[in-house]
Chains A and B, each alone.
Chain A
Amino acid sequence: MSEPATNVMARHGFLVVPLLLALAACAGNGEGLDQNGDPIVAGPPANTDFEEIQNTIFTPICTNCHIGANAPQGMRLDAANSYAMIVNVASNEVPGLLRVNPGNPDASYLVQKIQGNNAQGARMPFGGPYLPQDRIDLVRRWIAAGAPGPAAAANKLTVASTIPAPAEIAPAGLTRLSVIFAGDVDATLANGETFALRDGLDAPVPLASVRVPLGRPNVVELTLAQPLRAGSYQLEVHGGGPVSLADNAGHLLDGDADGVPGGDYLMSFDVSAGEAR
């Protein structure tokens, strides 16, 4: 039979309560981190609605769950994947609705989920707190404006993000790079002529393949012929010259971000000797 509760607490409670209180002091102090818990890296502030959505909603809140290989509904909302996962992508829960329907916030499942008038499942963020109205308005405004990608502008193709990120120190043995664009890429132009990787001695690094993955038309994946060794590397995406990358409408890459289509995109990163970044 159970021991009387008061006796048990008298004998064990003194162990449990102080343990819980002691553990309660273990949260990080956030030193050297941004609001998303990532190390602060110098860079330009968010200058588009989408970047603000990423930095104030997706990364700090949604990626508590929507990240990695087990993301609910397969929808990853980290900066490297969010745009490709939501814009013009059908919802799994309500396949007749796009997650983000550019120009039509009311017909965007993402909006319905954060407003709470969704057809399926719980309102997001799951379990609350729900987004303040000004954040919901931000998402609506971005979609109403056509859901432009990060730094996207009319009549040109731009790079939204890369994996690894610029200036990132990737672990040794890296075998694949991804470039995420703010628009759909002309897959026929994604090849070894428009994409190049060079090591610290400016020697070309062999690529095994350059391809646009199925179902992700704004992403180009570069598979390396050999795992990368420790050192510095530079990724080049050609937007100028005789062979240039473009979107499906023929708009050239604005790789140098000067606002004019046609420049090369250059991005440097390092590979460490060990596994830790």
Chain B
Amino acid sequence: MIRFNNWLRVAGLAALAGAASQANAEPYLAAQMGLKCAQCHVNPTGGGMRTVFGNTFAQTQLAAKRIGADEDLWTGQVSKYFSVGGNLRANYSYVDVPHQSQTNDFAVEEARAYLDFSVIPNRLSVYLDQRFAPGNSTNMEANVRYWIKENAFYVKAGRLYLPFGYRLEDDNAFVRQVSGINMQTPDEGAEFGIEHGNWTAQLAVSNGSGGAAEQDHGKQFATRLEFVQSAWRAGASLLFNDTDAGNRSGAGVFGAFRAGAVTLLGEVDFIDDDSIGASGRKLMASIAEADWKIRQGHNLKLAFEWLEPDRDVDEDEQTRASVLYEWSPIQFVQLRAGVRLYDGIPQNDNQNRTQAFLQLHGFF
């Protein structure tokens, strides 16, 4: 009982600190709270299993209402040495592509389970992220993480998501497509990270094969540096992938600031890829997002994205505008509804589609 009360105190302190918002796997939440990703996720770069704080916060600050007894507070910790977590997103989607029949369907977007074996608490962990749907069971992350100095320096190795820009929940965001680094394409390699004061930084070296087995001798280097303040944050990313087909280099800047209940977030990425065609291709993608916490448990998200698929070609730009409403009626449940309007060159119907969705998101 004492332990549960301690967690409640942690949550209460978070609220008093003005961190009131939602706790999920999206970077705007960290920006709203003025916290690093590592505060709520065991992975210092965000996403995946939540920490004890992340789970506690999800119950006491995320939802419009918390149901159940106070002592029934889920922390994710089955024992001192073993934690579990998960995510499930069930969608109903509607798609309207010009000159094609409209379609709609139900689908499980994803179901994942996370396991963290903390064999030396706070220092050495074996972490697994397993996707159970769609399709058969697939391992997405499997790595060993060792904090050389607790909460200061770590190294991890195995299969991991690479650090670059903001780890958005939506892998179809232009910035995640163009960079090629998202939560659908883990890579195998090693990562070194620093968490020091307001700074968070990571450097990863990996095969650079998009999740496939290594195909050449070249390696990919991805790095991310971010300065985090309570009301704002800014960072930069670099990427270099040396492949036989050609080199790919990238650079990005990202940042966010909070003004009361509104959080603005943005990222711009530039990619040069020598492996496309004879002369290579230069791409650019950006996102600007505004999140308005209308009241506890309710968030309105507006996002605008811009894609330049070839910077040497004029009039080929694409945009995507999104309006989403996220409602968390009770702890660990989120209902999301959204519309995404794509706008591109008129001769490509797919670039001018409209998508709408309803999503039930359960997590713990």
Contact = CB atoms under 8 A, between A and B. Distances in A.
B184 interface: yes
A57 to B, nearest CB: 10
Contact of B313 (A5, A7, A37): A37
Interface of A: 1-5, 7-9, 11-13, 16-17, 19-20, 23-24, 26-39, 60-61, 64-65, 67-76, 78, 80-81, 92-93, 118-123, 126-130, 132, 163-165, 168-171, 174, 177, 213, 215, 269, 276-277
A170 B345 contact: no
Interface in B133-171: 134-136, 138, 171
Interface pairs A-B: 4 shortest CB-CB: A70-B180, A3-B260, A164-B278, A30-B345
B243 A37 contact: no
A215 B209 CA distance: 15
B240 to A, nearest CB: 10
A129 B262 contact: no
B177 A20 contact: no
B103 A130 contact: yes
Interface string B282-312: 0000001010111100000010101001101
Given A23-B304, A119-B136, A33 B278 contact: no
Interface stretch (B23-31, B192-200, B210-218, B324-332): B210-218
B181 interface: yes
Nearest to B108: A122
B315 A2 contact: no
Contact of B278 (A1, A67, A165): A165
Contact of B319 (A24, A31, A60): A24
Contacts of A12: 259-260, 262
B295 A23 contact: no
Contacts of A171: 278-280
Given A16-B262, A118-B135, A127-B172, A24 B304 contact: yes
A128 B355 contact: yes
A48 to B, nearest CB: 21
B208 to A, nearest CB: 7
B5 interface: no
B180 A71 contact: yes
A69 B292 CA distance: 37
Interface of B: 18, 20, 93, 95, 97, 100-101, 103, 107, 109-110, 131, 134-136, 138, 171-172, 177, 179-181, 184-185, 208-213, 215, 220, 241, 243-248, 259-262, 264, 271, 273-281, 288, 290, 292-295, 302, 304, 306, 309-310, 312-319, 321, 341, 343-348, 350-351, 353, 355
Given A121-B131, A169-B279, 4 more contacts: A13-B262, A70-B208, A119-B135, A120-B136
Contacts of B343: 24, 27
B161 to A, nearest CB: 13
B210 A71 contact: yes
A5 B275 CA distance: 48
- A interface secondary structure, majority: loop
Contact of A33 (B264, B281, B319, B347): B347
B132 to A, nearest CB: 11
Nearest to A213: B244
B97 A129 contact: yes
B241 A127 contact: no
A27 B345 contact: yes
A68 B100 CA distance: 29
A27 B259 CA distance: 29
Contacts of B210: 70-75
Contacts of A177: 278
A168 B279 contact: yes
B248 A70 contact: yes
A65 B135 contact: no
Contact of B138 (A19, A37, A61, A93): A93
Contacts of B211: 72-74, 92
Given A37-B316, A60-B350, A76 B321 contact: no
Contact of A67 (B276, B306, B321): B276
Nearest to B317: A28
Given A32-B315, A70-B181, A129-B97, A8 B209 contact: no
Contacts of B244: 213
A64 B215 contact: no
A2 B184 contact: no
A23 B209 contact: no
B211 to A, nearest CB: 6
Contacts of A78: 276-277
